[in-house]
């Protein structure tokens, strides 16, 4: 067999700097799977990131995080609605998972 096996069919979505509660996926829904986020900090003073399961904060990265790229495993299903990510002006995120269209 040739090619790459893709059993999980993960998607990815970029979250630009300065976004407020960006929904992952087209609509997002309970049961969506957030596998991992990759956080790229460009400006330490404005590096805050918040990941929420609809309205419940699941992860909060504070401002003043050193410049760099961080890969954080989440491995969770949404229990109450769409996954949402908020970013400050000095940080971007790539979210990897299985999201509702």
CATH 2.60.120 is the classification of domain 11-98: yes
Give the model's confidence band at 99: pLDDT under 50 very low, under 70 low, under 90 confident, else very high.
very high
Residue with tokens 């596998």: 35
Per-residue pLDDT reduced to its tens digit, 6-21:
666 899 999 999 999 9
* Confidence check: pLDDT of 2 > 90: no
- The predicted model scores a pTM of 0.90
Per-residue pLDDT reduced to its tens digit, 41-96:
999 999 999 999 999 999 999 999 999 999 999 999 999 999 999 999 999 999 99
The whole-number pLDDT of residue 42 equals 98
> In angstroms, rounded to a whole number, what is the distance separating the alpha carbons of residues 95 and 4?
21
Intra-chain end-to-end CA distance of the chain, in Å: 31
Domain boundaries, the chain: 11-98
Q: Residue 59 pairs with which residues in a beta bridge?
A: 51
């Amino acid at each position: 067999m040739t090619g790459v096996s893709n059993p999980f069919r993960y998607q990815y979505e970029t979250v630009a700097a300065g976004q407020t509660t960006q929904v992952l996926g087209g609509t997002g829904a309970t049961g969506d799977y957030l596998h991992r986020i990759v956080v790229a900090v460009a400006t330490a003073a404005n590096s805050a990131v918040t990941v929420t399961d609809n309205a419940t904060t699941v992860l909060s990265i504070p401002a003043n995080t050193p410049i760099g790229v961080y890969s954080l495993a989440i491995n969770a299903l949404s229990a109450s609605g769409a996954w949402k990510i908020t970013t400050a002006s000095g940080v971007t995120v790539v979210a990897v998972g299985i999201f509702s269209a």
